[in-house]
Structure 1
Amino acid sequence: MRITMILLSLCFTLTAFAQDYKFRKVSKEELQEKFNPLDSAASATYLYKYRKTFFEYHQGKGFQLITEIHERIKIYNKEGFGYATKQVSLFNNGGHKEEINSIKAYTYNLLEGKIEEAKLTKEGMFETEKSKRLNEMKFTLPNIKEGCVVEFKYKVVSPFYSLVDDFVFQYDIPVKKLDARFEVPEYFVFKVNTKGFLPVIPKTKKKNDKITFTNKTRSSGTGIRNGITRTSYSSSDLEFIKNISSYNLTNVPALKEEPHVNSINNYRSSVKYELSYEKLPQSTIKYYSTTWEDVVKTIYKSSYFGEELNKTSYFKDEIDAVISSISDPVQRTALIFDFVKSKVKWNGYNSKYTNDGVKKAYKDQVGNVAEINLMLTSMLKYAGLNAYPVLVSTRRNGVPIFPTREGYNYVVSYVKFPEGSVLLDATNKYSTPNVLPFRALNWQGRVISENGGSTLVDLYPKEKSKNNISMMINLNEDGSISGGCRSVKTNHNALSYRERYNDANEDDFIEKLENKYSGLEISEFKVTNGLDLSKPIIESYKFVKESQADIIGDKIYFSPMFFLRTAENPFKLEKRAFPVDFGYPSTSKYRIIINLPEGYKVESVPESAAFSMPDNLGLFKFNISNNGSSIQLLIDAKINESIISPLYYDALKEYFKQIIEKENEQIVLTKV
């Protein structure tokens, strides 16, 4: 009986305020809810999420794409305050632009049993230019408190009817009710691409609709009305079939970020509508991107891409001077690569298309990704090298599984030599050949040839990034330690370190390092080869740290890795449906020598061990020895693949569990 009552109570909680989703009809029950019954850890919940995207014909303008949005969000705690801010991207191109209007938004709080409203004002709305073709409208609601409900409503009008934003059904927070609808005239045929693990099946139907045209005619009078111009109006209707797809979901679970995922958006449940072709009345069929060949040709023919590759006059003199005495192709590539990195600074914008053009970027010494790397490719081709642009989707942008023009948002350069090939990205001054910035390490890129053809290239590096750490430690009788640490990093580990160190204040950098290791005191800090990219980067310092051993009676207990040991397993899920993406293969080696305090001898040490993952995906070796006055620990840990399939998740989870257990095993010293 009690269980039945609990279930009935839960059902009531889930349905009690699922009655009215009209704008500004927020209930007291919604405001009183303390947590989501199905996800108590959620900081916020979409109580209602509505989207309708449809075509609307405007005489003189043609078809417009209209998207209407209505969202109601419950905010439980401070971690959910970010959901009170809405950001809407607005595209513009060639004098045409998207516009947002009919913005309405409110914050609701419950005070002494009454619902208090706070309205969005103009002071809370900001429009900024993100790039030449992209603006962003941001609006932030006032009076945000724990337990409040916020509600947004707005409309976006777009002349770019071929660019339909993805219909997304799963978010970082749960959704209690979601309604989405897509209406499209029969003149436009879309491919439907679905992704994610949540089963989403639309309800489809057809409906008659019509467009009314108003015709205006003028005529001159005759006889007694001679000389008077008369205006008359007439109308005509064009009837057509409208295809409607609707989605209705309830209690959609949150899709939460996990460690080592290239982009959680790759696995977010969503539907992409890609315009395949259009057949307007009394017009020929116009085809859009239906194959990767179509996509590549469309991008290459763009004046913001292919034409930019053919411009050479602006750099000829300087490049001639750079390579005049060098004939070796590899050396020429290196010289031109370094020249571009030092000449033009990245402005922080990703794009496969140029913004102001390569010539202006060269002159102003600043540009977006396309301007820098198309410029680099053009210079390499000018120097007689087999260089090609490579379309890339950044990690945050996701993996372009289906042929789509929006699937790529980045471009790098590819140079082919008889003995192999290299990938280059000049947007990062610390990047080296085949060491792309981490944001660009995302499965495969698409190499574009002059004739519009394309081939795939693996973006993940084959060579391991190394991190070799040497430590000399003096263990004191009170459990404190002092000593020196030296680390040597290569490839992506070196790139990452240089980004963090060279662009920071050194005192701030040291403070962060001390905080990372919970109160480590660092002195004599030094970095070598910070700017010499041809060599590994080396970090060294002296340190002191207290409370690194437990003193119990006449014995001392401690982990031989001290503050460097791994605290917890990053892989906590029972099962994982996504691949584990480390970005690049790596190897970490530790050589730790521990000088023991006088008057103590070794009672026990962990056993040496070695274990691996299946199919040589990972290997861990732990070797320990002692000579009475000191202990030496050697560790060699390898991840041999950039991506590990979810089929190996259990093995990977167990592998890390074994590593953590081994690193945390204790050495026991006893007083002589």
Structure 2
Amino acid sequence: MHINSTSFSIRCMTHFLLQCRLSCVVLWKVYVLSMLTFLSFNVAAQDDFKPKFGVVDRADVEMAAFQGDSSAAAVYLYDFGEVTYRYDDIRGLVMVMESWIRIKILKESALDRASVAINTYEGSGPENQELMDDIQGFTYNMENGQLVRTAMDRKSIKREKATGKYYTYKFNLANARKGSVIEYSYRRTTPLTVRDKPSPWTFQASVPSKWSEFRITIPFFLEYKTTMSGYLPLYISEQEPTDVHVGSSRLNGRGVAYRFVVKDAPAFVNEPFITTESDYLSKVNFELSVIQVPGEISKHFSNTWDDVEKTLNEANWFGVELRKSSFLKAKRDEIMQTAKTPEEKMEMAYRHLQSHMKWDGSSFLGSRDGVRKAYENKAGNATEVNLILTSLLRELDLNADPVILSTRSNGRFLKEIPLLESCNYVISHVEVAGKEYFLDATQPYAKLGLLPEHTLNGYGRLIPKKGSGRFLDIKPLDSQTKLEMVNANILPEDGSIKGNYSISFAGYEALRWRDKYVKEADDIYHEVLKKRSPEWKISNIAVKNKNEDLKGAVNVACDFELEDENASPDLFYFNPILAGRWESNPLKSKERIYPLDFTSGMSESFIGNYKLPAGYVLEEMPKAEIVSLPEKAGKFVYQVRQSGDMIQVSSVIVLSKTNFHAEEYHDVKEFFERVVQKHAQPLVIKKKAN
């Protein structure tokens, strides 16, 4: 009876897991940046660290600041997790996660770490419920020269309803204050019907970590695809065969024990020019690939991209919806009567969806209530909008297919790992006369082919109607482009500068401006312009081409007057970069281990034409500056010219490369620093001597 019960439970579990992989994959997310093969090697020569729960070093409690990062509010002294598997007569196969955290509190801002909240899933029936038990903790303080340990009051543990089928266990570490060391441990038991893989183990946090360790022992009947992501090296990486006692004679046997350690991990700082935090954090991930129980049919969960495409094309929420296009026939006929070329068909279809539908801001694969309903409601998620666009393009006899991708906030798209759950967005791909176009109709103010910045994340996968798909390089069509101009008179005797100013927004700068201000009243942007230059007296603001021609730039012009109360009639100082000035370097860190991702190229230009009054001259002509990044990745040109009573100042900053390796960080930082230095340089106008 015991063996039969086990067999029945395992069959139910494998069936459940298979169904999850086929029908529920859109709900899961996995982020992986780089692939590493974990090799077993001898670490006997390395310093190991195996503390004892309930016992801390006096030096850790006395520590006033962390030597590796004096700004740290806290530091993980020990962060440990271990996963094992066992068989339960009621719950079937379960994962058991033992966790142990020890933290040094260095600043009062980190005291919230002494209040712990852990979510658990509790579905219907014990076989679908996670259990939390063996919660214990201590706080350590120095009092009158003595190390004092305070145990956590178990009565402080609370179990509260969260949302849906989730509950939260909450507890507080007693007597925690600045200078304390706190530690706690707990055990979480998760049926494999709830989750078939361990949660990713992250070796980095928002504060430094001296020792982060993860262990897992995988029994012979489970196979996982193990991947490592991030930029920190493993201090220890071990694997060794071992005997595994799961608790069932059919399931006991051999297995493999893994141990991964990262030592002295710096705090993760959310630096500028990255995609999303999860792309950079060092972590280990597991994906179930095979479950093979003796006497039962093995189940393989590893997908190929062909499997992904087949799943999508057959899914009711994707491929089936893509083929429901009868509601578009009237619009198709209307376009066919007007358009004379395939390019016109494409543009008219794109413009129609842009104006007809409103994106609701959500990003996931699949249609909620069907594309027809979304079209009738004139609103839908990104997948619905662009599936409808693709269907309309196909109705117009154009070669159009959807492309799945991962947005920047969702994490990198990895060609090496065919997982639907890593994708959360759809755009449309069209081929006309041998030329490829990427279209996204969620953006009402984007010109044809200009993808929104959140989609510019490396690659996508084309899902064709027939045949095999392919990977596509999702590159920006345009740059972030601004041109600012000032034409002004220098009036030293009045201590003022008077003239007119204009700015032109193109490419992604135009899209950003239109997204913010097209639907706003004119005075909203007028106030923004005035706040941007509070020292200016601005009048006669005019905006041209708000959205009349999306291919063209947005143009703003105004008159201005700038007064300097400290100016002297004999000597007049002013910074000629009156607008668009780089006042600080956006790259602050001395070192960086992460690459730079600028989303798209950049072009920022400033031209200032200044007329001097009679009797005044430029005291000294500044040297021209030309700074270039290697391989024509970027260029900064600064120049001052004088012709008669006219002074022209020009600054041009161009980044043509969008991604830089960490090894190139210092070059880019120095490039920006030279821009800041030159933009801070004043001109001096003086009165000619009689």
The TM-score, its normalising length taken from structure 1, stands at 0.79
Distance 1:343 1:140 in 2: 51
Distance 1:249 1:312 in 2: 53
- The verdict on how the C-alpha distance between 1:244 and 1:334 changes in structure 2, with shifts beyond 3 A counting, is same
Verify the 8 A CA contact 2:439 2:449 in the aligned structure 1: yes
The 3-state SS of whatever aligns with 1:171 is coil
The 3-state SS of whatever aligns with 2:409 is helix
Q: 1:168 aligns with which of 193, 202, 225?
A: 202
Deviations 1:352-385 (A, max 9, x none): 3334443443344433332322232223223222
Q: Is the counterpart of residue 448 in structure 1 residue 482 in structure 2?
A: no
Distance 2:310 2:194 in 1: 20
Structure 1 residue 345 displacement after superposition? 2.8
What residue number does 1:102 align with? Answer: 132
What residue number does 1:4 align with? Answer: none
Q: Is the counterpart of residue 333 in structure 1 residue 346 in structure 2?
A: yes
Structure 1 residue 390 displacement after superposition? 1.3
How many residue pairs are counted as aligned between the two chains? 628
Q: Is the counterpart of residue 188 in structure 1 residue 222 in structure 2?
A: yes
Bigger CA drift: 146-155 or 419-428?
146-155
The 3-state SS of whatever aligns with 2:413 is coil
Bigger CA drift: 435-444 or 645-654?
645-654
Q: 1:51 aligns with which of 81, 87, 91?
A: 81
Q: Is the counterpart of residue 384 in structure 1 residue 401 in structure 2?
A: no
The 3-state SS of whatever aligns with 2:339 is coil
Deviations 1:39-62 (A, max 9, x none): 112233334433334445455765
Amino acid at match of 2:512: S
Amino acid at match of 1:433: L
Distance 1:258 1:495 in 2: 24
- The verdict on how the C-alpha distance between 1:96 and 1:368 changes in structure 2, with shifts beyond 3 A counting, is farther
Q: Is the counterpart of residue 42 in structure 1 residue 58 in structure 2?
A: no
Deviations 1:449-495 (A, max 9, x none): 23462222221224434211112344453755454322111221111
What residue number does 2:417 align with? Answer: 403
Verify the 8 A CA contact 2:537 2:562 in the aligned structure 1: yes
What residue number does 2:233 align with? Answer: 199
Structure 1 residue 415 displacement after superposition? 1.0
The 3-state SS of whatever aligns with 1:428 is coil
The 3-state SS of whatever aligns with 1:395 is coil
The 3-state SS of whatever aligns with 2:349 is helix
Alignment of 1:281-430 (within 5 A): 281-289=294-302, 291-321=304-334, 323-401=336-414, 402-405=416-419, 406-430=421-445
Q: Is the counterpart of residue 277 in structure 1 residue 290 in structure 2?
A: yes
Verify the 8 A CA contact 2:121 2:166 in the aligned structure 1: yes
The 3-state SS of whatever aligns with 1:45 is strand
Verify the 8 A CA contact 1:447 1:454 in the aligned structure 2: yes
Verify the 8 A CA contact 2:633 2:657 in the aligned structure 1: yes
Verify the 8 A CA contact 2:157 2:172 in the aligned structure 1: no
The 3-state SS of whatever aligns with 1:604 is coil
- The verdict on how the C-alpha distance between 1:52 and 1:479 changes in structure 2, with shifts beyond 3 A counting, is farther
Structure 1 residue 29 displacement after superposition? 7.6
- The verdict on how the C-alpha distance between 1:412 and 1:589 changes in structure 2, with shifts beyond 3 A counting, is same
Distance 1:449 1:48 in 2: 49
Distance 2:521 2:76 in 1: 41
Q: Is the counterpart of residue 561 in structure 1 residue 574 in structure 2?
A: no
Distance 1:102 1:615 in 2: 56
Q: 2:486 aligns with which of 467, 471, 486?
A: 471
Verify the 8 A CA contact 2:484 2:580 in the aligned structure 1: no
The unaligned stretches of length 5 or more in structure 1 are 1-14, 214-235
Bigger CA drift: 29-38 or 580-589?
29-38
Distance 1:169 1:212 in 2: 31
What residue number does 2:472 align with? Answer: 457
Bigger CA drift: 157-166 or 182-191?
157-166
Verify the 8 A CA contact 1:395 1:440 in the aligned structure 2: yes
Deviations 1:401-422 (A, max 9, x none): 4314133232211111114111
Structure 1 residue 110 displacement after superposition? 7.4
Distance 2:278 2:470 in 1: 25
Deviations 1:584-628 (A, max 9, x none): 123222221224467632212313343422322222333322345
Amino acid at match of 1:403: I
Q: Is the counterpart of residue 536 in structure 1 residue 566 in structure 2?
A: no
Q: Is the counterpart of residue 589 in structure 1 residue 605 in structure 2?
A: yes
Deviations 1:312-347 (A, max 9, x none): 234444454455533532222222223333333333
Deviations 1:560-603 (A, max 9, x none): 10353212333355554443221112322222122446763221
Deviations 1:100-125 (A, max 9, x none): 65397999797998869799989996
The 3-state SS of whatever aligns with 2:338 is coil
Amino acid at match of 2:219: P
Verify the 8 A CA contact 1:351 1:370 in the aligned structure 2: yes
- Percent of pairs identical after alignment? 26
- The verdict on how the C-alpha distance between 1:261 and 1:273 changes in structure 2, with shifts beyond 3 A counting, is same
What residue number does 1:233 align with? Answer: none
What residue number does 2:18 align with? Answer: none
The 3-state SS of whatever aligns with 1:562 is coil
The TM-score, its normalising length taken from structure 2, stands at 0.77
What residue number does 2:502 align with? Answer: 486
- The verdict on how the C-alpha distance between 1:315 and 1:486 changes in structure 2, with shifts beyond 3 A counting, is same
What residue number does 1:635 align with? Answer: 651
What residue number does 1:580 align with? Answer: 596
Verify the 8 A CA contact 2:342 2:398 in the aligned structure 1: yes
Verify the 8 A CA contact 2:413 2:457 in the aligned structure 1: no
Bigger CA drift: 111-120 or 405-414?
111-120
Distance 1:49 1:407 in 2: 27
Verify the 8 A CA contact 1:70 1:154 in the aligned structure 2: no
The 3-state SS of whatever aligns with 1:338 is helix
Give the alignment's Cα RMSD to 1 decimal: 4.4
The unaligned stretches of length 5 or more in structure 2 are 1-46
Bigger CA drift: 301-310 or 502-511?
502-511
The 3-state SS of whatever aligns with 1:592 is strand
Amino acid at match of 1:539: V
Deviations 1:296-316 (A, max 9, x none): 444444443323322223444
Deviations 1:425-458 (A, max 9, x none): 2233233333212111111222222346222222
Which gives a bigger RCO, structure 1 or 2 (Cα 8 Å, sep 6+)? 2
Verify the 8 A CA contact 2:107 2:179 in the aligned structure 1: yes
Q: 1:600 aligns with which of 592, 608, 616?
A: 616
Verify the 8 A CA contact 2:152 2:173 in the aligned structure 1: no
Amino acid at match of 2:427: V
Bigger CA drift: 140-149 or 246-255?
140-149
Amino acid at match of 2:200: D
